[in-house]
Structure 1
Amino acid sequence: MVVMQLMAVFLFCLIHLFAGKLRFLDAIPRSRWLSFAGGVSVAYIFIHLFPEMAEIQESFSESEGFWLSLEHQTYFIALIGLSVFYGLERLIKSEHAGDGLMKRIRPSVFWLHLSSFALYNGLIAYLLVHRQDDTLTGLLFYAVAMALHFLVNDYGLRQHHKDSYRAYGRWLLSAAILLGWVLGRYTELNESIIHSLFAFLGGSTILNVLKEELPEERKSRFIPFVLGIAVFAGLVYLH
């Protein structure tokens, strides 16, 4: 299992380091491969993340303590994750307002945006070790879905930050993945904290997937998007 985790980590890192060389992803309308990857990510959210969040909520409900005994706190944490990344997206949009994507983003905003995604990547890698579904099949589904999710995120970050992302951002995000996995291997947080991190990841992933597919300027492709959903859903139900 450790070898499989390490292979997934290297795949995640390679995507950030070299996805910029995949010129066919820069097509307009949006590359069908990016829309397919977005569809897989959405399918993973609804088929895997939501049921696992329901299990987490059940475990919270059975725990003692004021916070853990509240109703729906799993979904509240997920909402926080979604809101945080929505705020970041609005901040970046405001930086581009007026001059389009050619406007240079302030360094402070660039580093805030990249640091947030570094923490996000590190969290994904940490939960690669501490997943709800600790089977080999669960690992494979998680690795494939997150790899395609990283591909979509990488494209969006390159569009926002251009040369700054190529020079610094991709290396930072790759290092965060490796660090997150190492922390996952050699540290183990309280189960309630891990569950809270998983819920936060769920909400964050929902926003980060949909913000890349839904805006009109993305000119997303519907059929590849739906095909990605169908393929991933079919694999899940056939395994």
Structure 2
Amino acid sequence: MSTGLSFLCVIGFIIIHLFTRHLKFLRRKPRSQFLSIAGGIAVAYVFLHLLPELGDFQEELKGEGLLSFFEHHIYMIALFGLVLFYGLEQFVKTSHKHRTDASSIEHHAGVFWVHIGTFALYNFSIGYLLVREEFTGSLGPWAFFVALGVHFITIDSSLDEQHDKDYEKYGRWLLTASILLGWATGVVTEIHPFILSYLVALLAGGIILNVMKEELPEERESSYPAFFGGVFGYTVLLLLI
């Protein structure tokens, strides 16, 4: 993607991070259908774009690195990304259950920084990919922006619900800075394809887990028709590009 266009995407993502918490309809019960649509779009993006890209990386990197003896090691990294984010979510839930005294409040602060720090790395990867990602058509960059933009709205809504004032005061600014830093890194330098492939794999695993976390629990009262609509609509869009 060109530097100018990728910077416009960065600005769009920054706006999403800073203002999603003001979209009150995202917190209503039953769950906003928009979030289910966003989940469907993100899933379609992973299966129709990121996973095929991982297949290309797997072919290019055969024989390289310490994990070359694993036939499908790049998919193992994606699996690790899913497990990592699942572990973080369980860690945060356990922390919330034990916030009963001063020491647990201090512990929660540590949990917040671990949680938000991991998402900062997640955002850094996306910022870098904004510059280094290659698209075959003129609509490709906008499809990329739409998929990750609505996914960011889902993530922001979840982090705001979990961490509230901490996220408002620190979290959203750190996520904003990390995606900008990732973009700047992509502009001035080029990461080795071996590392880039791992960033994409972790991103794929993270997106899958975050969508599952938001859509599957019964208490979320998610909308299957809205989720299916997101999957179908974005799939049609990718097929037309």
- TM-score tier after normalising by the smaller chain length: over 0.9
Partner of 2:157: 155
Cα distance change, pair 89–116 in 1 and its aligned pair in 2 (3 A)? same
Partner of 1:54: 55
Following the alignment from structure 1 to structure 2, what is the Cα–Cα distance between the partners of residues 130 and 68?
A: 24
Cα distance change, pair 135–2 in 1 and its aligned pair in 2 (3 A)? farther
Say which SS state the counterpart of residue 71 (structure 2) adopts: coil
Say which SS state the counterpart of residue 68 (structure 1) adopts: coil
The answer to whether structure 1 residue 33 and structure 2 residue 42 are counterparts is no
Following the alignment from structure 1 to structure 2, what is the Cα–Cα distance between the partners of residues 70 and 187?
A: 29
Tell me the CA shift for residue 16 of structure 1. Answer: 0.8
Partner of 2:46: 45
Partner of 2:143: 141
Partner of 2:88: 88
Equivalent pair of 2:9/2:145 in contact (CA under 8 Å): yes
Question: Superposition RMSD on alpha carbons, in Å?
Answer: 1.9
Partner of 2:74: 74
Partner of 2:222: 220
Q: Counterpart amino acid of 2:86? A: Y
Partner of 1:116: 118
Following the alignment from structure 1 to structure 2, what is the Cα–Cα distance between the partners of residues 228 and 195?
A: 27
Q: Counterpart amino acid of 2:92? A: I
Following the alignment from structure 1 to structure 2, what is the Cα–Cα distance between the partners of residues 33 and 59?
A: 38
Equivalent pair of 1:52/1:132 in contact (CA under 8 Å): no
Q: Counterpart amino acid of 2:70? A: L
Equivalent pair of 2:155/2:210 in contact (CA under 8 Å): yes
166, 172, 175: which one aligns with 1:173 = 175
Q: Counterpart amino acid of 2:42? A: S
Say which SS state the counterpart of residue 157 (structure 1) adopts: helix
Following the alignment from structure 1 to structure 2, what is the Cα–Cα distance between the partners of residues 162 and 59?
A: 43
Q: TM-score, normalised by structure 2?
A: 0.92
Partner of 1:6: 7
Q: Counterpart amino acid of 1:71? A: E
Tell me the CA shift for residue 57 of structure 1. Answer: 1.3
Tell me the CA shift for residue 67 of structure 1. Answer: 2.5
Cα distance change, pair 81–132 in 1 and its aligned pair in 2 (3 A)? farther
For residues 121-163 of structure 1, what are the alpha-carbon distances to aligned partners after superposition, in whole Å with 9 as ceiling and x for unaligned? 1111111112254654332221111111100000000110011
Equivalent pair of 1:60/1:69 in contact (CA under 8 Å): no
Say which SS state the counterpart of residue 29 (structure 1) adopts: coil
Cα distance change, pair 132–84 in 1 and its aligned pair in 2 (3 A)? farther
Q: Counterpart amino acid of 1:84? A: L
Number of corresponding residues: 236
Following the alignment from structure 1 to structure 2, what is the Cα–Cα distance between the partners of residues 180 and 133?
A: 19
Tell me the CA shift for residue 42 of structure 1. Answer: 0.8
Percent sequence identity over aligned pairs? 44
| Gaps in structure 2 of 5+ consecutive residues | none
Equivalent pair of 1:19/1:154 in contact (CA under 8 Å): yes
Tell me the CA shift for residue 189 of structure 1. Answer: 1.3
Following the alignment from structure 1 to structure 2, what is the Cα–Cα distance between the partners of residues 199 and 225?
A: 23
Tell me the CA shift for residue 5 of structure 1. Answer: 0.5
Following the alignment from structure 1 to structure 2, what is the Cα–Cα distance between the partners of residues 110 and 65?
A: 33
Say which SS state the counterpart of residue 203 (structure 1) adopts: helix
Cα distance change, pair 180–134 in 1 and its aligned pair in 2 (3 A)? farther
